[in-house]
Amino acid sequence: MGMRSSRTPSVAASGEEIGSDGVRQPGGEVHAWLPGQNQTVCGLALSRTRLRRFPHVSFDYSGTDVLTEADAVGRICPRCLAATTGRRGEGGRGWVRDSPRP
């Protein structure tokens, strides 16, 4: 069984708000969550933390996202971010060695 799962993580969040289209959107602190599992990617149990699940919202945040006062989302879990961004490239590494040793 490979680590590579084609399922993209969805969002679990501490809060929610209803978007202008009437659809629930995550708010507060957001975490990555794989539907079918009862914990977030960083290991928080959904039942104990009372995080709300948003199976219709994919966790496609990046470390460069800037959150403003206008955003419902207040914080993106750095551990979930690290766990999900590593899988995103075209099979390449997320880092490049600047000066390889001779």
90 in any annotated domain: no
Interval 6-31: pLDDT, tens? 478 999 999 999 988 999 999 999 99
Interval 39-75: pLDDT, tens? 999 999 998 999 999 999 999 998 888 888 888 999 9
73 in any annotated domain: yes
58 in any annotated domain: yes
Interval 85-99: pLDDT, tens? 865 444 444 455 566
- Interatomic CA distance for residues 76 and 21, integer angstroms: 23
Give the pLDDT band of residue 77 (cuts 50, 70, 90).
very high
Q: What is the pTM of this model?
A: 0.75
| Domain boundaries, position 40 | 10-85
The total number of structural domains in the chain stands at 1
93 in any annotated domain: no
44 in any annotated domain: yes
Write b or e for each residue in 32-54: b if 16 or more Cβ atoms lie within 10 A of its Cβ, otherwise e.
bbbeeeebbbbebebeeeebbbb
Q: Is the dihedral of CA 14, 18, 20, 23 positive or negative?
A: positive
Can you give the pLDDT at residue 70?
86
Pairing relationship of beta strands 73-76 and 24-33 according to DSSP bridges: parallel
Report the range of poorest mean pLDDT among 35-39, 58-62, 78-82, 98-102: 98-102
48 in any annotated domain: yes
